[in-house]
Amino acid sequence: MKLILPPYAEVDGVARGPHKRQAEFHALEQRIKMYRGGVGAGKSLAGSREMMATVLEDLQHSQQLGGADLGGALYLVGAPSYDMIDVGPWFHIVQWLDAFERVNSFKLEKRRWESHPRRIELITGQVLKFLSVDNPSKWAAATACSAWLDESELAKEPMAAFRTLQSRLRDNRVHSHKMIVTSSPRGARGCAQWFADKIAADDPDFGLVVGSTLDNPGNPSSYVADMLKSMSERERKQQIEAALLSTDNAIYQEEFHESQSIDHKWKYQRGGSQQYNLAIDWGGHYHALLISYDPNTDTDTVIDEWTATGVQDEEFCQKVVEGCRDRWALRPGDITEVIADYHPRAANYVAYSVWRGKVKNRRVRDNEDRWSRINTTRWRLKEAATGKRRLLFHPNLRSTKSKRGVLRSIANYSLSERMVEGQRVTLDRPIQDSPFSHSMDALGLYNWIRYSHLRFYDRRAVGVAA
Across the range 435-455, mean pLDDT stands at 94
- Strand 285-294 with 359-360, pairing: unpaired
pLDDT classification of 459: cutoffs 50, 70, 90 = confident
Q: Tell me if the pTM is above 0.75.
A: no
**pLDDT, greater one: 317 or 139:** 317
pLDDT classification of 188: cutoffs 50, 70, 90 = confident
pLDDT classification of 22: cutoffs 50, 70, 90 = very high
- Percentage of the residues of the chain whose pLDDT score is greater than 70: 93
> Given this model, what pLDDT does residue 186 score?
86
231, 384 contact by CB (below 8 A):
yes
Rounded to the nearest 10 degrees, the angle between the axes of helix 43-64 and helix 20-27 is 30
Task: Pick the closest to residue 178 from 328, 49, 339 (CA basis).
Answer: 49
Rounded to the nearest 10 degrees, the angle between the axes of helix 91-104 and helix 43-64 is 50
Among 6-15, 65-74, 114-123, 150-159, the range scoring the smallest mean pLDDT is 6-15
> Given this model, what pLDDT does residue 16 score?
66
**pLDDT, greater one: 227 or 15:** 227
215, 41 contact by CB (below 8 A):
yes
Q: Rounded to the nearest 5 degrees, what angle is found at the Cα of 49, between the Cα atoms of 106 and 152?
A: 140
56, 48 contact by CB (below 8 A):
no
Beta strand extents in 236-390 (DSSP E only): 275-281, 285-294, 299-309, 337-340, 359-360
Q: How long is the chain?
A: 466
- Strand 285-294 with 275-281, pairing: antiparallel
Tell me the per-residue pLDDT of 311-360, one tens digit each, with 9 for 90 and over. Answer: 999 999 999 999 999 999 999 999 999 999 999 999 999 999 999 999 99
> Given this model, what pLDDT does residue 424 score?
59
Tell me the per-residue pLDDT of 394-405, one tens digit each, with 9 for 90 and over. Answer: 999 998 888 899
Mean pLDDT value across the chain: 89
> Given this model, what pLDDT does residue 423 score?
57
119, 129 contact by CB (below 8 A):
yes
Name the helix (H) or strand (E) containing 208: strand 206-211
Among 200-204, 279-283, 431-435, the range scoring the smallest mean pLDDT is 431-435
- Percentage of the residues of the chain whose pLDDT score is greater than 90: 64
- In the predicted model, is pLDDT for residue 75 greater than 80? yes
In sequence order, the 6+-apart residues with CB closer than 8 A to the CB of 1 are none
- In the predicted model, is pLDDT for residue 254 greater than 90? no
Tell me the per-residue pLDDT of 413-424, one tens digit each, with 9 for 90 and over. Answer: 988 877 565 655
Across the range 236-260, mean pLDDT stands at 85
**pLDDT, greater one: 120 or 435:** 120
| Cα separation, 249 vs 252, whole angstroms | 9
> Given this model, what pLDDT does residue 227 score?
87
Q: What is the DSSP letter of 169?
A: B
Q: Coil, strand or helix: which one is 309?
A: strand
Across the range 181-202, mean pLDDT stands at 90
pLDDT classification of 465: cutoffs 50, 70, 90 = very low
Tell me the per-residue pLDDT of 259-287, one tens digit each, with 9 for 90 and over. Answer: 999 999 999 887 788 999 999 999 889 99
